[in-house]
Amino acid sequence: MKKYTYTDKKDTRSGFGAGLLEAGRKNDQVVALCADLIGSLKMNDFIKEFPDRFVQVGIAEANMMCIAAGMTIGGKIPFTGTFANFSTGRVYDQIRQSIAYSNKNVKVCASHAGLTLGEDGATHQILEDIGLMKMLPGMTVINTCDYNQTKAATMAIAEYEGPVYLRFGRPVVPIFTDPDQKFEIGKAWMVNEGADVSIFATGHLVWQAILAGEILAEQGIDAEIINIHTIKPLDAEAVLKSVAKTGCVVTAEEHNRLGGLGDSIAQVLATHTPAPQEYIAVNDSFGESGTPEQLMTKYGLDAEHIVLAVKKVIERKNKNA
């Protein structure tokens, strides 16, 4: 198992804030919009440096999405910022008609996704957003795993032409990816090569997959770990190549098991090379209040549960053999 260490921990939303500032410096067409959550979205540095290129919309997310769509007409590259729940479910029709169907170059940037929002509870913990966004034709869907990756992704989507949903979160988590990485949209990242099982993880579950990989290695199980940061378009080639080698799959995400990364992988496998698969995901329920760590444990989204899922799926593979 390749060794991953970290010296610092930060929230992924701070990676977004840093990336937005860099993207703004690189391209003066980049503009930012926020619906009364500047601090939560870490947009302060961008606003300080580019006050004229920031739009405070107030608590009016529908208006924000359509203003962003309008700003692309005239060449702007708008980044909208609010919580994931208010970035997707609340404004689905606005994104569908004015951004996706109209093919507008809007970057929908969503913080506080999933259970790790924590104490605010289920009203704010959206677990359906990846599914909602990936069903929209032409929409790119990205879920990043740490500060560095989020910063790199934010800069990369500014250079990509087309609508993007960028999902990140609130909790402070280890920084384990390269600070100078080049983020390639739609390209899976090989975290660890292995032979016994393919673990496909996204977002906060990537670090948990690494921890699981270390536990499994001690027990003689050689796990391949692949970070799928871009859920759509999915790197099907990387998925199929890995599963051809390992013959079984665990998918891990901070999302409902319906409609998320797991289903995207399952669809690729079912139509090419069916393989046993276990899901690490929320089992079709809403969340609740609690600390991020408590919630991830209670809902089975941690390294221990990944280890159990790996053992189960290897057993299924061996039974089929």
For 321, residues 6+ apart whose C-beta sits below 8 A from its C-beta are: none
* Contact call for residues 285 and 300 (beta carbons, < 8 A): no
For 119, residues 6+ apart whose C-beta sits below 8 A from its C-beta are: 289, 290, 291
Is 20 a binding residue for another protein by CB under 8 A? The answer is no
Is 26 a binding residue for another protein by CB under 8 A? The answer is no
Q: Which stretch binds another protein (CB under 8 A): 48-56, 151-159, 212-220, 305-313?
A: 48-56
How many angstroms separate the Cα of 292 from the Cα of each of 24, 149, 276?
32, 21, 30
What is the nearest approach in angstroms of another protein to the Cβ of residue 43?
17
What is the nearest approach in angstroms of another protein to the Cβ of residue 69?
5
Nearest CA-CA partner of 143 in 169, 181, 121, 118: 169
SS3 128: coil
Binders of another protein among 49-68, rule CB under 8 A? 52-53, 55, 57-58, 60, 62-68
Is 76 a binding residue for another protein by CB under 8 A? The answer is yes
Toward another protein, which CB reaches closer, 51 or 220?
A: 51
Distance CA(155)–CA(113), nearest Å, equals: 20
Is 98 a binding residue for another protein by CB under 8 A? The answer is yes
CA dihedral 235, 236, 239, 244 (to 10 degrees): -150
What is the nearest approach in angstroms of another protein to the Cβ of residue 104?
8
Ramachandran category for residue 56: left, alpha or beta (phi over 0 → left; psi -120 to 50 → alpha)? beta
Toward another protein, which CB reaches closer, 1 or 57?
A: 57
Residue 35: phi and psi, rounded to 5, are -110, 70
Distance CA(238)–CA(179), nearest Å, equals: 23
What is the nearest approach in angstroms of another protein to the Cβ of residue 96?
8
What is the nearest approach in angstroms of another protein to the Cβ of residue 185?
22
Is 89 a binding residue for another protein by CB under 8 A? The answer is no
Binding residues for another protein, total number by CB under 8 A:
32
Toward another protein, which CB reaches closer, 78 or 131?
A: 78
- The two most distant CA atoms of the chain are separated, in Å, by 63
Exactly one of 75, 218, 219, 271 binds another protein (CB under 8 A); that residue is 75
Nearest CA-CA partner of 181 in 194, 192, 172, 190: 190
Exactly one of 8, 49, 93, 315 binds another protein (CB under 8 A); that residue is 93
Q: Which stretch binds another protein (CB under 8 A): 1-9, 74-82, 166-174, 191-199?
A: 74-82
Is 102 a binding residue for another protein by CB under 8 A? The answer is yes
Exactly one of 27, 73, 179, 237 binds another protein (CB under 8 A); that residue is 73
Binding residues vs another protein (CB under 8 A): 31, 52-53, 55, 57-58, 60, 62-76, 78, 93-94, 96-98, 101-104
